[in-house]
Chain A
Amino acid sequence: AQKVTQAQTEISVVEKEDVTLDCVYETRDTTYYLFWYKQPPSGELVFLIRRNSFDEQNEISGRYSWNFQKSTSSFNFTITASQVVDSAVYFCALITNRDDKIIFGKGTRLHILP
């Protein structure tokens, strides 16, 4: 069965610190897709990134970076020089080639303190 675990329920860091959000997934399928979404206080889920299982290259987008490691079944998300606007709930998600439904983790609530 497919599963996504975000062990960190809530994290608080001071502004300008770096922070890493962990995501561990489980699947027996060899073809799958991983996602990160941001949910700010307004509620709308904002898509951040999608990676397929054949592309293990790390991704950087501004202050955001993602570390995909198949050996540990992890897809971690790092925010560098955090800002108060980064405060949100972040969801990691998985969909496999055999499923039609995306599996979400329970989310990590991130507080960036000024």
Chain B
Amino acid sequence: SQTIHQWPATLVQPVGSPLSLECTVEGTSNPNLYWYRQAAGRGLQLLFYSVGIGQISSEVPQNLSASRPQDRQFILSSKKLLLSDSGFYLCAWSGDSKETQYFGPGTRLLVL
């Protein structure tokens, strides 16, 4: 069966510091991968999605970036965090863009 992992689970970072969140999927190959952000009490915002290694589509212009160095690894990064980057970050995978997306446990990021 497929599983999706995210780490860290919680992160507290100062403004201006770098960020690296990791997401890995097991039990499937060539998945579509997604990064979402959920601000406190708000809905889900799609940040990036990837249909293959090195292929990244950005949905929202901001100081975040994503990379997919391996088939089942998706990384969310920032060179300098802003206060507004605080939120709950969710990674998801699907077998195809029309199929169900399955979500990881998420990372809670607090930027101080």
Q: Is the contact region of chain A dominated by helix, strand, or loop, or is it mixed?
A: loop
Question: Which of B43, B44, B106 has most A Cβ within 10 Å?
Answer: B44
Residues of chain A having any CB pair with chain B under 8 Å: 33, 35, 37, 42-47, 50, 91, 95, 97, 99-102, 104-107
Q: Which chain B residues numbered 84 to 104 have a C-beta less than 8 Å away from chain A?
A: 88, 90, 92, 97-98, 100-104
| CB-CB under 8 A for A44 and B106, given A33-B98, A95-B98, A101-B59 | yes
Is B52 in contact with chain A by the CB < 8 A criterion? no
A42 partner residues in chain B, CB cutoff 8 A: 105
Q: Which chain B residues numbered 41 to 69 have a C-beta less than 8 Å away from chain A?
A: 42-44, 46, 49, 51, 59
- B46 close to A43 (CB less than 8 A): no
Residues of chain B having any CB pair with chain A under 8 Å: 42-44, 46, 49, 51, 59, 88, 90, 92, 97-98, 100-106, 108
CB distance from A77 to the nearest CB of B (A): 16
- Pick from A44, A101, A102: contact of B104, CB under 8 Å: A44
- A105 close to B43 (CB less than 8 A): yes
- B105 close to A100 (CB less than 8 A): no
In the bound complex, what is the Cα–Cα distance between A33 and B97 (angstroms)? 11
In the bound complex, what is the Cα–Cα distance between A45 and B44 (angstroms)? 11
- A44 close to B59 (CB less than 8 A): no
- A44 close to B43 (CB less than 8 A): no
